[in-house]
C-alpha cells in the first residue's frame, strides 16, 4: 500500500515523464527520417516527387511519418489537458491496486483517443501528399512548388483563424477544466471517447496550420518546430486572442505577397 500511495502521489510526474519520452522519441524519429531522406542521391528516389503510382508499403511509410510528426507536434500542447484528466483519475483512486491500474488504463485510453483523431488526420494528409506529389507540385523537401497553391493555403489559413468554428474549438483546447466539466464520461469507454472529443476539437482548430507544412516543407524541421511552438503558445497563453488576430493578419499578408511577387 505504501508503494501504491507513492505512485498516486507522483502521478503527475509519471505522466509528464511519459509525455516527454514519447515526444522526444517522435522528434528523434523525424530527425533520423529527414537525414535519411536527404542523403545524396536518395531524396528523389525515396520521396518520389513525381511519382504517379504508389504501392501500399510506400503509402504506409508515408502515413507513419505523418502520424509520428503529429505526435511530436501536438502531444506537448495537449499536456495540460492530459494532466487535468490524470488528476481527476487520481482523485477517484483510493489506493487499491485495481484502482491504480484502472486510473492508468483510463489515462492511456484518453491519450489513445486523442491521438487516434490525429492519426485519422494523418491518413488524410498522406493521401493529399500522394496526390500533390503525383501532380509534381512538391519539391524534394515536400514543399509546394506552386505559387498559387502556397498563396492560397496561407490566405486560407489566415482567414480560418478568424472563423467562429475555429474559435469554438480553440476555447475547448485552452480550458482543460471547462472541457472536463462539460464532457466528462465515466469508465474506460468514456475515457477513450473524451480523448476522441478533445482530439476532434484540437484538429478543428489546428488542421489548417498543419497544411502549412506543405508551404514550408514537410521535411523542414525548423518549419515543423515553428508551427509546434506557435500551437503551444496559442493554446497555453492566458490571453490568446491577440495571437490569433496577429497570426491571421501575418498569414493572409504573406499569402498575398507570395502571389503578387511571383
**For 97-150, what is each residue's pLDDT tens digit?**
566 677 788 889 999 999 999 999 999 999 999 999 888 898 888 899 999 999
Question: Residues 6 or more apart from 79 whose CB is under 8 A from it?
Answer: 16, 19
Task: Show the cell assigned to 147.
Answer: 505559387
DSSP codes, 16-80 = HHHHHHHHHHHHHHHHHHHHHHTSTTTHHHHHTTT-----HHHHHHHHHHHHHHHHHHHHHHHHH
**For 193-219, what is each residue's pLDDT tens digit?**
999 999 999 999 999 999 999 999 988
Mean pLDDT score across all residues of the chain: 84
- The total of structural domains in the chain comes to 1
Structural domain including 223 reads: 2-260
Q: What is the pTM of this model?
A: 0.86
Task: Show the cell assigned to 99.
Answer: 484502482
DSSP codes, 181-245 = HHH---HHHHHHHHHHHHHHHHHHHHHHHHHTHHHH-TT-HHHHHHHHHHHHHHHH-SS-HHHHH
Amino acid at each position: 500500500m505504501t508503494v501504491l500511495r507513492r505512485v498516486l502521489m507522483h502521478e503527475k510526474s509519471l505522466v509528464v515523464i511519459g509525455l516527454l519520452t514519447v515526444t522526444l522519441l517522435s522528434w528523434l524519429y523525424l530527425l533520423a527520417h529527414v537525414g535519411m531522406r536527404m542523403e545524396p542521391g536518395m531524396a528523389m528516389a525515396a520521396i518520389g516527387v513525381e511519382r504517379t503510382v504508389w504501392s501500399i508499403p510506400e503509402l504506409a511509410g508515408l502515413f507513419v511519418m505523418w502520424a509520428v510528426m503529429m505526435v511530436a507536434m501536438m502531444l506537448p500542447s495537449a499536456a495540460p489537458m492530459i494532466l487535468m484528466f490524470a488528476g481527476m483519475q487520481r482523485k477517484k483512486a483510493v489506493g487499491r491496486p485495481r484502482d491504480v491500474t484502472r486510473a492508468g488504463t483510463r489515462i492511456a485510453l484518453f491519450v489513445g483517443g486523442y491521438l487516434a483523431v490525429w492519426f485519422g488526420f494523418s491518413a488524410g494528409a498522406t493521401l493529399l501528399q500522394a496526390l500533390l506529389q503525383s501532380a509534381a507540385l512538391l519539391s524534394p523537401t515536400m514543399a509546394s512548388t506552386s505559387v498559387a497553391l502556397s498563396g492560397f493555403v496561407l490566405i486560407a489559413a489566415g482567414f480560418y483563424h478568424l472563423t467562429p468554428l475555429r474559435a469554438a474549438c480553440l476555447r475547448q483546447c485552452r480550458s482543460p477544466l471547462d472541457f472536463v466539466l462539460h464532457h466528462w464520461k465515466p469508465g474506460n469507454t468514456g475515457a477513450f471517447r473524451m480523448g476522441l472529443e478533445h482530439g476532434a476539437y484540437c484538429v478543428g482548430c489546428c488542421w489548417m496550420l498543419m497544411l502549412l507544412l506543405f508551404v514550408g516543407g514537410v521535411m523542414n524541421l525548423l518549419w515543423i518546430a515553428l508551427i509546434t511552438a506557435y500551437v503551444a503558445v496559442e493554446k497555453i497563453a492566458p490571453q490568446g486572442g491577440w495571437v490569433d488576430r496577429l497570426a491571421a493578419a501575418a498569414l493572409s499578408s504573406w499569402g498575398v505577397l507570395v502571389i503578387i511577387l511571383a
